[in-house]
Structure 1
Amino acid sequence: MQADAWWLTVPDDALAAVAGRLAAALPAARPAGRPRPLALHSSGLGSLRLLDPLRERGVRTLCLHPLQTFAGDPDPALLEAAHCAVTADDEDTLALGEELARRLGMAPFRLPDGGKARYHLAAVVGCNLRVALESEAKRLMDAATGDGDGLAHLAPLLRATLANLLAGGDPARALTGPVARGDVGTVRAHLRLLDREQPRLARTYRALSLEALALAAPRLDDETVRTLRALFTGEARP
């Protein structure tokens, strides 16, 4: 099987097997004058080691993962200006991956193979779990208003929140709301409602509010921090 490059765009669980079959199909020796071929995958989580059967046959291995979300029909324009993680074992292949990412309109950055799990987790928390959280916000707003337009009501708030977060570069500066203000009474009211009607969301509220409290603590007095922490850890009842 002769080629200059193979881009393995298969599900993560199939990568190792496909790489193994491809490696087994390669000729025993590379024809004279042909450059070393390249094999790459685009798994955000998958290690470069998944391509080891090919690397052992003299193939350069590379991972390019566009840090972008594609819902519904994929739009290639979404790649433009998206950041792209580049993972490789050597400087020449890293440089090649960066150039390929730039030619596709993306902004490359280098990602060590050992950092891929944390990298992918960051993307899931920032993207996928945010969608799940906003689904809960929509459901609460729909129940409050009864008009079914919860997401439309929330949209300006969501846009402004993300703009504040991205503009400042410091999540603590973008944090507003009752935890940021140390508004214990409002927090108690939220928890009483959630404990009564939505205990599963109550656990999420407490866990995320502890993270918010860590951001807000430097601007709050010690007593307020202790009171809020006790409410969020369950040491105190609302």
Structure 2
Amino acid sequence: MNSAPLLPPGTSVAVIGAGRLGTVLARALEEAGLDVTGPIRRGESIPDADVALLAVPDAAIPGAADVARPHARLIGHASGATGLDDVDFSVHPLQTFTGSEPATVFHGIGAAIDGRDIDALDMAEQLARALGALPFRVHGRQRRAYHASASIASNLLLAVLDAAEQVAGSAGIHPDEARELLAPLVRQTVENWVDRGAAEALTGPIARGDEETVARQRAAIADDDPDLIPLFDELCDSTRALAARTENPA
């Protein structure tokens, strides 16, 4: 998209919400040269500002926007799934946060933006660029699918990695050691996916059509971690479909 003008130094931003994202956002925007107040916790007073940026749970956005409206020219939120019913714009950093990251965590990542009008959209883009992120627009009707994609790539992936850690434990490998040993495999798999896409990156027994090995894996999980069998079966079915795409490309 076209680059909006950079925000002038001293632009005032009130970051509302002192959770993981709000904490990092406030730190990064301040280091970018903006006049930042926050992160502001629930019940604390909100100063007058050019922008109020809400980093609160989705359900709290309407109430927080109402409280902030008298104090800011524009109000935005940092939610990936919520529309613009209560705010003027949105900026959703496409990253996972613990709250302890340095300001540079935003550098080079994507940031989904949207705005009610050109002024609000420009503000969303300028804030994203001030963070060092790469803005791309996601329209309201597309937000649910966009956020679902992000959740699959991050939140749901952790459920798969946790299952791998549990099964490694059944093989006598301590959880800390399992994560250390499996991490290079996970990283390389992700790099292969980035470079080539999932179908071409796929390796292992299902890709080779070695169902006997898959059956032995399933039996081991059934013996020691039976609660993981439904997940294992679903993942194997999805992987077979992925392998079939490689064999029979559209």
Q: Could you give the per-residue CA deviations for residues 143-186 of structure 1, whole angstroms, max 9, x where no partner exists? A: 31445511111122111111101112x21011111111111101
| TM-score when normalising by structure 1 | 0.76
User: 1-side partners of 2:179 and 2:104: how far apart?
Assistant: 25
Unaligned stretches of 5+ in structure 2? 1-46
Alpha-carbon RMSD across the aligned residues, in angstroms, is 2.2
- Helix, strand or coil at the partner of 1:164: helix
Equivalent residues, number: 201
1:197 is matched with which residue: 221, 224, 227?
A: 224
Counterpart in the other structure of 1:58: none
Structure 2 residue identity aligned to 1:38: L
Asked if 2 retains the 8 angstrom alpha-carbon contact of 1:8 and 1:15, the reply is: yes
Structure 1 residue identity aligned to 2:73: P
Counterpart in the other structure of 1:99: 126
Asked if 1 retains the 8 angstrom alpha-carbon contact of 2:52 and 2:68, the reply is: no
Counterpart in the other structure of 2:63: 17
User: 2-side partners of 1:7 and 1:142: how far apart?
Assistant: 43
Unaligned stretches of 5+ in structure 1? 27-35, 52-60, 222-238
1:75-90 to structure 2, matched below 5 A, reads: 75-90=102-117
| TM-score when normalising by structure 2 | 0.73
Asked if 2 retains the 8 angstrom alpha-carbon contact of 1:180 and 1:213, the reply is: yes
Amino-acid identity (%): 33
For the pair shown, which has the larger CA radius of gyration, 1 or 2? Answer: 1
Counterpart in the other structure of 1:216: 243
Q: Could you give the per-residue CA deviations for residues 36-73 of structure 1, whole angstroms, max 9, x where no partner exists? A: 9211111122221132xxxxxxxxx1100100111252
Asked if 1 retains the 8 angstrom alpha-carbon contact of 2:89 and 2:115, the reply is: yes
1:166 is matched with which residue: 186, 189, 194?
A: 194
- 1:110 matched to 2:156? The reply is no
Q: How far has the Cα of 1:218 moved from its partner?
A: 4.0
Please identify, of 109-118 and 134-143, the stretch whose mean Cα deviation from structure 2 is larger: 134-143
User: 2-side partners of 1:155 and 1:4: how far apart?
Assistant: 43
Larger % of helix: which? 1
Asked if 2 retains the 8 angstrom alpha-carbon contact of 1:182 and 1:220, the reply is: no
- 1:41 matched to 2:72? The reply is no
